């Protein structure tokens, strides 16, 4: 009972620290809704494109998607966006999924509460992790790239290029020590996704992040697709060996300022992060067709949607599926081989309006949505329990 009281108090403190409480009018979030462009256009294929064949490039962009997005989101943290909600003026022939009298957030919450959305896919980028304190990469204040200057990188991104890693692995492992999972607490956004999972509403969580915060939050690994890999596992890079090495052993090597070498063949050992020059994990391609075919609500959070094939996934859901973007800026309004978001209804021709937009901090937006769902206290308590547990364990 005393423990529950402490958790409730901690939840209140978290609520206050996020400056939300009941003061939604001052929340730095902007809400909008709109629709899908040009469905009646003959240029749009009747059947959705296969992502793997559309982007059959041998090398993947890899973890730098999260790096670039981290920079974008960190750079925007000082920008205060006033809370506004609006519905665009729709063409007369357009049909909207959103009730005219309700905000898009309210309507999406209504869909979830009433069972109209029960196979939800969340796509996430670095924006859901910046509130955890994970540093960006290029800002001088973080010191991450500044600490690597001694290695005279030809360009900062070389540190995540597989060919450079094979020649000079040390810079990556210096950086990996700063970013290694276990040093950061999952955010409200991560726990919102966990809450969806607990309520059997989460079909899958697709993430570009390599920080493992979804796993730390307690989301089952079966529900996670780490599109650009993660620190969760590590293998020998030799094609003839590929021995998997225990995460604890790899961590001990990294934190001892050593370069991990395979215990079997002495080749380099690398965490299973997708570098430039490497393909995406097979799990990404194995699940996306079945997942996106049946998705009835797509939530996209904290991503610039500039890196393919991940960015193209927004176009893989059925045309009747609502799509919600939560981000600090508008993104994804055009996409390679697809339709993209159309938040203002500029390109709608006798079609269905299904896109909603929340501009602002991901954690604040998740609390706003949770409030509409009646889950806010439950969400805050979920994170408070995690924080209390880790404080007791000294982590």
Residue 288 and residue 313 in contact, taking contact as beta carbons nearer than 8 Å: yes
* One-character DSSP codes across 334-388: S-TTS----TT-TT-SS-EE-EEEEEE-HHHHHHHHHHHHT-HHHHHHHHHHHHH
Catalytic residue from among 228, 245, 347, 353: 228
Residue 106 annotated in active site? no
First to last CA, the chain: 24
**Alpha carbon distance 324, 285 (integer Å):** 23
Burial pattern 323-344, b for ≥16 Cβ within 10 A else e, equals bbbbbbeebbbebeebbbbbbb
In the block, tokens 């003839």 appear at: 240
Residue 165: name the closest of 93, 62, 105, 237 by CA. 237
Q: How many whole angstroms separate alpha carbon 69 and alpha carbon 84? A: 24
Bridge-based pairing state of the strands 229-236 and 244-245: antiparallel
E-strand spans in the chain? 29-34, 84-86, 95-96, 120-124, 202-207, 224-226, 229-236, 244-245, 269-273, 297-301, 323-327, 352-353, 355-360
Identify the burial level of 92 via C-beta atoms within 10 angstroms of its C-beta, where 0-12 means exposed, 13-18 middle and 19 or more buried.
exposed
Catalytic residues: 228
């Amino acid at each position: 009972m005393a423990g529950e009281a402490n958790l409730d108090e901690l939840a209140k403190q978290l609520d206050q620290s996020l400056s939300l409480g009941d003061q939604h009018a001052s929340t730095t979030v902007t809400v909008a809704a709109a629709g899908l462009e040009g469905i009646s256009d003959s240029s749009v294929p009747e059947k959705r494109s296969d992502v793997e064949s559309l982007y059959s490039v041998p090398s993947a962009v890899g973890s730098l998607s999260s790096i670039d997005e981290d920079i974008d989101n960190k750079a925007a943290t000082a920008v205060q966006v006033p809370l506004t909600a609006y519905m665009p003026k729709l063409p007369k022939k357009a049909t909207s999924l959103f009730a005219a009298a309700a905000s898009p957030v309210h309507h999406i919450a209504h869909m979830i509460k009433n069972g109209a959305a029960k196979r939800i896919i969340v796509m996430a980028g670095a924006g859901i992790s910046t509130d955890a304190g994970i540093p960006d990469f290029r800002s001088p204040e973080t010191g991450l790239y500044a600490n690597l200057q001694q290695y005279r990188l030809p360009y900062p991104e070389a540190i995540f290029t597989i060919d450079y890693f094979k020649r000079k692995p040390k810079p990556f492992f210096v950086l990996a020590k700063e970013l290694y999972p276990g040093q950061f607490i999952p955010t409200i956004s991560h726990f919102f996704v966990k809450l969806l999972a607990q309520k059997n509403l989460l079909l899958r969580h697709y993430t570009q992040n390599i920080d493992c915060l979804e796993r730390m939050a307690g989301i089952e690994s079966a529900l996670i697709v780490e599109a650009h890999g993660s620190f969760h596992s590590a293998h020998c890079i030799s094609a003839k060996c590929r021995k998997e090495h225990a995460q604890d052993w790899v961590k001990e090597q990294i934190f001892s300022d050593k370069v991990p070498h395979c215990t079997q063949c002495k080749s380099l050992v690398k965490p299973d992060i997708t570098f430039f020059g490497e393909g995406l994990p097979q799990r990404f391609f194995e699940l996306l067709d079945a997942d996106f075919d049946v998705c009835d609500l797509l939530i996209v959070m904290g991503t610039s949607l500039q890196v393919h094939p991940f960015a193209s996934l927004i176009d893989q859901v059925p045309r009747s599926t609502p799509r919600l973007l939560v981000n600090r800026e508008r993104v994804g309004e055009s996409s390679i081989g697809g339709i993209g978001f159309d938040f203002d209804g500029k390109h709608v021709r006798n079609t269905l309006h299904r896109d909603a937009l929340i501009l602002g901090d991901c954690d604040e937006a998740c609390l706003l949505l949770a409030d509409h769902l009646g889950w806010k206290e439950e969400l805050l308590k979920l994170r408070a329990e995690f924080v209390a547990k880790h404080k007791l364990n000294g982590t």
